[in-house]
Structure 1
Amino acid sequence: MRDGGAAGPDTPIESPHQSPGQSTVEAVFREERGRLLASLVRRFGDLDLAEEVTSEAVEAALVHWPAEGVPAKPGAWLLTTARRKAVDRLRRDQTYAARLAILQVEADRAGPAPPADADGDLADERLQMFFTCAHPALAAEDRTALTLRYLAGLTTPAVARAFLVPPATMAQRIVRAKKKIREARIPFRVPGADELPERLPGVLQVLYSVFTEGYAASSGPQLQRLDLAEEAIRLARILRRLLPAEREVAGLLALMLLIHARRDARTGPDGELVLLDDQDRGRWDRPMIEEGRGLVVCALTGGPPGPYGVQAAVAALHDEAADLASTDWPQVVALYDVLLALTPSPVVELNRAVAVAMRDGPEAGLALLDELVDEPRLRGHHPYPAARGDLLHRLGRLPEAASAYREAIDLAGTEPERAHLRSKLTEIEPPNPADKTGT
């Protein structure tokens, strides 16, 4: 923490020599931060104010709890303290006070706040924050940044690392997004039942974007960024609790769990990429797979399937198989047919072509890939030339395979992916010892 002052919004609550009270505050803060911010934002309509008084409340807890004991309801204690600090600040600032009156009128028009439960626990208003952070009026990159900042509780430098941009750039992006919320008067509320089907996919897409960056980093030295993947799963669990009847929320959580269950087997001892065919399936997280399979049933029961539920069903088929050869490839292809009908996409067509190659042979899969050769949305997408290289390699068309592998190497974003593709290329074109220097 900063010396001589309260913890700032981007100051992590940690210390190399934490007292028990500090450890408890950190644990409570990590769990309650999103709820605190959501409640304060709904009350005061200002993200900056909410952040500042939340940090001040945590600083107060660090002072009082070690001496007085941790309260029975620490989250409620933090909320009460933060509210008092916000009111004190507003009373001292006439501009803020006038603005608060306007915001209170708008909040009253939006409807009453969710009530506390019978035990007096905090009402969980994070659902409003999910929809505010993922509002369609915001730029797509800003939605993900705000979700990581205000729901996941990542500091601005941590969000910058997630996007692989300088902290100053991310700080400007977050300020821009908050200004947009303020100037466009984007409401902090849950969409009505008539709006929910249109707005929920945007929230799910933000969470899935966070997860996919963690599962397969877009660039950098590492294949996986487990902290991001696990944070996306945590947020998806929260959303599942808040919207238990939404089957696509169950589908997204199932998809994440079924993929993340393979995390330990996806890389070797030195961080190298290990493909599905070569993974030690004994290292897969079986309890996570079972949880995911149960959620797939929820996602596919009670109505037409959604895209995340269908993708989760594909992931479940992979996780259930003893090896790649025994995977139910006809069913995988059938599920991709359903997915194409729901969300036509060249990436889905690419995945379906690979599944067809496993079902009917490499020539059948290659024919489908060749149909996508002029698809602009696959330009720059390294899995496309990598898949072509693999099928051409299996067919013995080695010069063409080598060319495809070289294209994929140029496009791959992470070093483990490039190293794997270079090893495939070496199988076709072994290095010439005469080319080595220093001998």
Structure 2
Amino acid sequence: MIKKISISIGLCMSSFFCFAQDMDYTRTLVEKLSSKEFHGRGYVNKGDSVAAAYLSKEMKSIKLKGFTDNYYQPYSISVNTFAKNTKLSFDGKELKPASEYVVNPDVRTGKGEAKITWITKDIFKNTYALSTFMKKDHSNSFLAIDSTGLNNPELYDFAQVMMKKNVFDAKGMVLINGKLKYSAKNKLVDFTTILVKTGAIDSKAKTIQYDIKSEFIEDYKTQNLLGYLPGKTDTCILFTAHYDHLGYFGENMYPGANDNASGVAMVLNLAKYFKAKKKKPHYTLVFALFSAEEVGLLGSKHYVENPLFPLEQTKMVLNFDMVATGEKGIYVINGQMVPDEMKKFQAINKEKEYVFNMFGTPESSSSDHAPFHDKGVKAVFFYTHGDNADYHETTDTADRLSYKQFEGIFKLVRDYVEMK
């Protein structure tokens, strides 16, 4: 009896240290992927391809099966890049790129000077004032709006949507807000939008001087990666995460530690776990790492149009995007769209208490689960609810991550898959 208890304790300790080692692997992987070696995993210096080559080796070391030797599913995209430094001044005062301003990612190369016309809350709150303002010629002006000056988040959001669509037919836009969220685009527009951090410029600035250099690449070669473990049945479960990020804005790199090196680490942790089991899984388990999520979910869209496993045989898609915080809980985004599966997650968590404050949400198109959902495949997206203030900023670095619910999500998903 004592011997059996000792063996049981030994197995438990072995299991504990196995996962602890996986957490070490997670931290190492996230630090690696968010390092300068990978150029922000974007589309300057082929950062996404550098990351793909590294992840291919990781999949090979786990000994996943693949449709190609390197696990690649190649395809092409269009993408706008900013490899060269930009310059921006207001009334001759120059701002710092990435920390005081960024440009909208659909901006063309352009250089010049223009006057600034400030939009006040009175313009948007008065129908006559708005109509009069829209009739004016703004084609040689930059229109500027300050969220602090409006003092109304809903009104600012409404104004921002109108300005980003350039309903005023202006030369350009200046949107002033508390945070700078850089992004990526696969198309260009004919006006310039600049995002400026609150307090970086005087609200009475009269002129703007700018020098923006972008490079639009129409046939950029990129790739998804897919490895799998054959199951007892052809019905499959997909574990997905995007490995790309935003790359550079001039000389400023966006590391993308939480977004989404953390999701990649979750997928590879699950791959390692299921591969290490001697028992063949019931379902075929597919581990997919998508590129070009930041450009518009293009990698996952390419996969659903060219699936390597039939979509009708795909039981569930479990997508992981930003899973390295979680101080306030986790979201199972799209969870309300798959109520039966959500009940399983809730039942597991009620018994095991793996995570705290788990919320299922309505339909969302915010990550790579969405193209699958649009095709009628059950799909959810795990996202940790916490201090995600570094989202799409240069401060999204590995040292700022708490991994508060990472292990809990891993165990929740592990148990869900093993339920059959």
Could you say whether these structures have the same fold, taking a TM-score greater than 0.5 normalized by the shorter chain as the test? no
Q: TM-score range by the shorter chain?
A: under 0.3
| Greater fraction helix | 1
Larger Rg belongs to: 1
**How does the TM-score come out when normalised to structure 2?**
0.21
Structure with greater contact order relative to length (CA < 8 Å, sep ≥ 6): 2
| Greater fraction strand | 2
**How does the TM-score come out when normalised to structure 1?**
0.21
